[in-house]
Amino acid sequence: MTITKTNIQEAYIIQPQVFKDERGYFFESFNQEKFQNETRITTQFVQDNESMSNYGVIRGLHAQSGEFAQAKLIRVIQGKVLDVIVDARKESPTYGEIFTIELNAENKKQLFVPKGCLHGFSVLEDQTIFSYKCDAYYNKASEIGVHPLDQSLAIHWQVPEDKQLLSEKDRLLPSWEDFLKNNSEK
Ligand SMILES: Cc1cn([C@H]2C[C@H](O)[C@@H](COP(=O)(O)OP(=O)(O)O[C@H]3O[C@@H](C)C(=O)[C@@H](O)[C@H]3O)O2)c(=O)[nH]c1=O
């Protein structure tokens, strides 16, 4: 397992060790002890999620607030995504910074998203299976987000406009500017 820092404080890329042989491959997709020893992250994951999306889907930018804030450990089982983190932690030295990375079934890279960061991804191949662990349970009432196509964030999702597909919920998400205003009032 190799751990690489990103430009966002406490967000890490994890490259698992993959054992290949004539049958195929094997790797430990998660090992609590090794993960904690190597990353020094003491997160206890309590929920695993999986979603499937076709090319052009953009999910995000999402987080849960307050006591329901979630750290996430993300990977792609099949297909390819552009994964994005926006640091929305006011107290963070990297507040407002954006990190993007391609996660795919071949590179098997995983991404650790700290609590308080907004997270989203665009889907670059049909039938992409996205899988992630969370350290807090889903709580609908605490969901917060920013519109993924917000112009001031200017995230290049690598999907042409006419192919982008967002959920109705995500189409109604606020701008980054409004999100910041709401947050600073709290
Ligand atoms: C996230 C989630 C959704 N759901 C339900 C609610 C809804 O009916 C259906 C689909 O939910 P959503 O549209 O919110 O799914 P989705 O847009 O895929 O939401 C996810 O997006 C990515 C970017 C993240 O970072 C995740 O934390 C999560 O917010 O699944 C759960 O039951 N448990 C969960 O943990």
Ligand 1: residues whose CB is within 6 Å?
A: 49, 51, 59-60, 62, 119-121, 138, 167, 169
52-75 confidence digits (pLDDT tens): 999 999 999 999 999 999 999 999
Cα 59 to ligand 1 centre (Å): 9
Say yes or no: ipTM exceeds 0.95. Answer: yes
3-32 confidence digits (pLDDT tens): 999 999 999 999 999 999 999 999 999 999
Cα 183 to ligand 1 centre (Å): 22
Contact 154, 127 (CB under 8 A): no
What confidence tier does 39 reach under pLDDT thresholds 50, 70, 90?
confident
Choose the residue to mutate in 49, 54, 58 for probing ligand 1, maximizing ligand atoms within 8 Å of C-beta. Answer: 49
Choose the residue to mutate in 62, 74, 128, 168 for probing ligand 1, maximizing ligand atoms within 8 Å of C-beta. Answer: 62
162-179 confidence digits (pLDDT tens): 999 999 999 999 999 999
112-170 confidence digits (pLDDT tens): 999 999 999 999 999 999 999 999 999 999 999 999 999 999 999 999 999 999 999 99
Integer Cα distance of 98 and 100 in angstroms: 7
Q: How many Cα atoms sit within 13 Å of 34 on the Cβ side?
A: 12
pLDDT for residue 182: 87
Report the helix count and the strand count for the chain, using DSSP H and E: 3, 13
Is a pLDDT exceeding 60 seen at residue 186? Answer: no
Instruction: For the chain, list the domains and their CATH numbers.
Output: 2-185 (2.60.120.10)
